[in-house]
Amino acid sequence: MVGLARSATRRPKPPASGVANWPPLADPTPAPSRSGPVQFAEAAPTAKVDEAWVEPHEDGSCPLSHPIKGNAQSKIFHVPGGGSYDRTKAERCYSSPGAAETDGFRQAKR
């Protein structure tokens, strides 16, 4: 009797190669289409444009977390090491050049 009760509740045995692949999981990779490589949708930015920058310090310098200096009037941003970076007083500070570009700024030419 005990043998019958156990056989009704037995689970299939994992493959002999090991338990790492058991139970089999669905393949997360989508199948390629006939028209070409798989295209993935671009993720939407998580921060709003107005949240992408922070206020500079009173002396016009930027915090270490947002070293890119932006001039709101000219819509030009300066990166550390750039020719005008040290003498530029920031009006906005960005975490990356991409964040400044997203906000409508362009990089200084030198």
Nearest to 69 by CA among 91, 49, 51: 91
- pLDDT tens for residues 58-99? 999 999 999 999 999 999 999 999 999 999 999 999 999 999
Note whether residue 32 is domain-resident.
no
Confidence category of residue 52, pLDDT binned at 50, 70, 90 = confident
> Is the alpha carbon torsion for 58, 63, 68, 72 positive or negative?
negative
Note whether residue 22 is domain-resident.
no
Is the whole model's pTM more than 0.75, yes or no?
A: no
Note whether residue 77 is domain-resident.
yes
Note whether residue 40 is domain-resident.
no
pLDDT recorded at residue 15: 56
pLDDT recorded at residue 110: 78
Note whether residue 38 is domain-resident.
no
Find the domain containing 68 and state its range.
50-107
State the Cα–Cα distance between residues 74 and 13, nearest whole angstrom: 69
* Number of domains into which the chain is organized: 1
Note whether residue 33 is domain-resident.
no
Note whether residue 13 is domain-resident.
no
Name the residue with tokens 């089999």: 24
> Dihedral (C-alpha) 52, 57, 59, 63: value to the nearest 10 degrees?
-70
Taking CA 20 as the corner, what is the angle to CA 19 and CA 21, rounded to the nearest 5 degrees? 90
Give start and end residues of each alpha helix (H) in 28-103: 97-102
| Amino acid letter, residue 71 | N
